[in-house]
Structure 1
Amino acid sequence: MARSLIDLPRRDLSSQPVFWGGLRTTFGVAHRGALKETRPDDLLADLMRARQLTPGVAEIVTGCAYPEGEQGYNIGRVAALGAGLELPGMTVNRLCGSALEAAAIAAAGVVSGRADAWLVAGVESMSRVPRRGANFSESTRVREHAPEAYVTMGETAENLARRYPRLSRAAQEEFAASSHAAAHAAWQSGFYDSHVIKVHGMTADESIRHPANRDKMALLPPAFCPGGVVTAATSSPMSDGAATGLVTSEKTARDLGARNWLRVIDTVASHVAPEIMGLGPVPAVKKILERHHLSPSDIAAVEMNEAFAVQVLACVDELGLDPRTVNTKGGALATGHPLGASGLRLLMTLHARMEEDATSGNLGIATLCVGGGQGIAMLLEFVSL
């Protein structure tokens, strides 16, 4: 149980931002799943329409990692128009951290008084817009002076495996199998029913495997380099999906009848060397804990994006987190990782976990590593009336 937040800064309820009302689609397997033919702008528009507009929402901010092609032309506004919403919209890009950044922007907007209620969203079709974008072009200057800027995500995972030799291939496979088992159990228990819409005939997130076959995992070849230890089984799958949520003032949440929410305390972005980008959550979480005089033991629940098994294991060790608090309902290795939507998936999973525990005042953290050598973390407090 987390300690009291009485020593943390408090705001008037009209300027205290909170997250609630999360709703996402089931996530599809890219290129061969149920959403492979679905345009991402249509997918997000349909989700926005399905949730109906919350009274008082003034702006939309949407995360998208590759906002071009069918995700271009400011998909945050395009999807809103497709949903029939007469609202301004913008799109933000912090790669895998885009949706969490969108929520942070909305929270800052509540604090500043810019708008009292925001619809936040995230979307990615890895089927229809390729990784690194449709027309990616390296800078000759950057390639010459900072070649690490273009290191692939798989290479960064192998770098971590070499840096932490105790995180063996077997340990990574064990973690991946546990993620699939936890996600399957959560779906079976009805945990996801409150905040996931099953679309295009899916009954759950498509990439979940039950049981995850450890024997088959052991036979997979290295995915990224000869002699490596990171495989397709210990890497998050390419995925398609969309997510939405509300960031409002606490007063507005109460007025609209919400019974509980996540109070947004703080957000921190950090940087690490691009070639070890998977460690990005470490400085972000450390900074947010130090800023608020907290320790890892004060955090009741953590949702950390599972880009790679080795990356999560390394971050948990470096931060001294209790593994029993991390991703208890499975993570991206199982549910999938539609890049621009993943930050909101973390927030709504964290909310549902803390709602299940029902201890008002508990603290949670949502965090992701970010391509290019970054991390982002958000500190939240569960509040229940």
Structure 2
Amino acid sequence: MNMQKQDAYIVAATRLPVGKRGGMYGRTRPDDLLAAALQAVLAQVPGLDAGRIGDVIAGCAMPEAEQGMNMARMGLLLAGLPQQVPGLTINRFCASGLQAVADAASRIRLGEADVMIAAGAESMSVMSQMMGNKISMNPAIFDREDHLGMAFGMGLTAEKVAQRWKVSREDQDAFALESHRRAVAAQQAGYFGQEITPFEIVVHEPGNVADGTPKITRRTAAQDEGPRADSSIEALARLRTVFAARGTVTAGNSSQMSDGAAAIVLMSERMIKELNVQPLARFAGYAVAGVPPEIMGIGPVEAIPRALQQAGIGQAQLDWIELNEAFAAQALAVIRELGLDPARVNPLGGAIALGHPLGATGAIRTATLTHGLRRTSGKYGMVTMCIGTGMGAAGVFEAL
């Protein structure tokens, strides 16, 4: 093992199609989704001895119930990885999947490992409510006035961002429609083909009463369930606000609650040469920053400049930006505050159309970015998102 500082490279990246909450994965366990993503990404590196994997780090925003019990370890065992491979589940809410990529890269960059897997998995179908199955936040967090924003639901923080950054309902609906338009166009053009691994959904139904034989149904999920070709500005305008009576945030201009998983294989340069593997991208930098909880959606504004500084590049050098669309209001506020080029932000649509399986999203969007940059011959790309309780994260990648 090389204990000198070194670069970390992405050599394989894949994701499963994203399903709507209660949709095609409504009866599929999240650890099964994770296991499938791990098997799929390892199949892309046929010469790799899985026993050499230093760790499997998986992000999950709500690690409880079916996605508790250290889902990373459960998932890798279900996937058939060697028992000597360890697993770690981490939680930075919506940035969990991206944090997994950054942590895996850090282990390689420090010389502690030569092969790592970063992943993310989340099933919002298994949750009884948005903040998990049992909400038990410490009441003392609200004793200070500057922490009161923690009491706001995510939708109310989006309303506050819309008010402060003057993002109109009309602008939010137009942004949402464009997200669907881009996502549908990308599906029709086959742009998600390289990044998506189809998943076979197996459902056990009650069987013959006489002999108890279960009925098993199988179908294959091959594309994301969320994009709507029939969305229109008129339909979006008719939706009622759901978080504030006189607000602007609706279900139509917010991210979809979703189920999904993704996995990324990272290697050191030494391992790449040993296996004669062609890297897809170099991990260039990562940063996290805190902001007031009541305007959590603006988090990327603080994180993006820090990540760019780490990577040693300027904002104008970014060819592709995956900005998670938690809400149209916050995405537009970030775009306007930093002067991001809208044409380079979410070229294939974002979470409003494609869905947001919380802790999996960062890994999912890393797969989208990695393959998208190579397809378009772009050089630098970024994955960034806001984070509940008031944070932002951003990771920079260089296509090779």
Is TM (by shorter chain) over 0.5? yes
Residue 97 of structure 2 is matched in structure 1 by 99
Deviation at 1:13, TM superposition (A): 10
Number of corresponding residues: 369
1:271-293 CA distances to partner (integer Å, 9 max, x unpaired)?
A: 10001001100110122234555
Amino acid at match of 2:195: H
Partner of 1:112: 110
Give, in angstroms, the shift of residue 57 of structure 1.
Answer: 2.1
Q: Secondary structure at the match of 2:130?
A: coil
**Alpha-carbon displacement from aligned partner over 1:138-162 (angstroms, at most 9, x marks no partner):** 2121122222223211011100111
1: CA distance between counterparts of 2:309 and 2:262?
31
Please say if 1:284 is aligned against 2:283.
no
Task: Please name the residue that 2:134 is paired with.
Answer: 135
Corresponding letter in the other structure for 1:48: L
**8 Å CA contact 1:13, 1:250 repeated in 2:** no
**1:221 matched to which residue of 2?**
240
Aligned counterpart, 2:315? 296
Contact 1:198/1:204 (<8 A) preserved: yes
Q: Which runs of 5+ in 1 are unaligned?
A: 1-10
1:23 aligns with 2:11: no
Q: Which residue of 2 aligns with 1:237?
A: 256
- The alignment status of 1:371 with 2:371, answered yes or no, reads no
TM-aligned CA distance change 1:255 to 1:175, over 3 Å = farther
What is residue 155 of structure 2 aligned with on the other side?
154
User: How do 1:40-189 residues align onto structure 2 when only pairs under 5 Å count?
Assistant: 40-52=30-42, 54-55=48-49, 56-86=52-82, 87-129=85-127, 130-145=129-144, 146-165=147-166, 167-189=167-189
Q: Secondary structure at the match of 1:193?
A: coil
Q: 1:342 Cα shift? A: 0.4
How far is 1:255 from its partner? 4.1
Which of structure 1's runs of 4+ aligned residues deviate more than 6 A?
Answer: 11-14
Q: Which amino acid aligns with 2:133?
A: A
TM-score (norm 2): 0.88
Contact 1:181 1:211 in 2 (8 A): no
Give the direction of change, closer, same or farther, for the CA distance of 1:306–1:20 in structure 2 (3 Å limit).
farther
1:6 corresponds to: none
Equivalent position of 2:340 in the other structure: 321
2:224 is aligned to 205
The structure-2 alpha-carbon separation of the partners of 1:382 and 1:52, relative to structure 1 and needing over 3 Å to count, comes to closer
Corresponding position: 1:36 with 2:26: yes
RMSD: 1.9
| Correspondence for 1:7 | none
User: Percent of aligned pairs with the same residue?
Assistant: 38
Q: TM-score, normalised by structure 1?
A: 0.91
Greater mean alpha carbon deviation, residues 203-212 or residues 231-240:
203-212
Indicate the larger mover: 38-47 or 119-128. 38-47
Range with bigger deviation, 179-188 or 94-103: 179-188
Partners of 1:18 and 1:247 within 8 A in 2: yes
Question: Is 1:249 matched up with 2:245?
Answer: no
CA distance in 2, matches of 1:17, 1:83: 24
1-side partners of 2:260 and 2:15: how far apart?
A: 8
CA 1:213/1:381 → structure 2, altered by over 3 Å: closer, same or farther? same
Unpaired segments of 5 or more residues in structure 2? Answer: 202-219
Cα separation, partners in 2 of 1:358 and 1:222, compared to 1, 3 Å: same
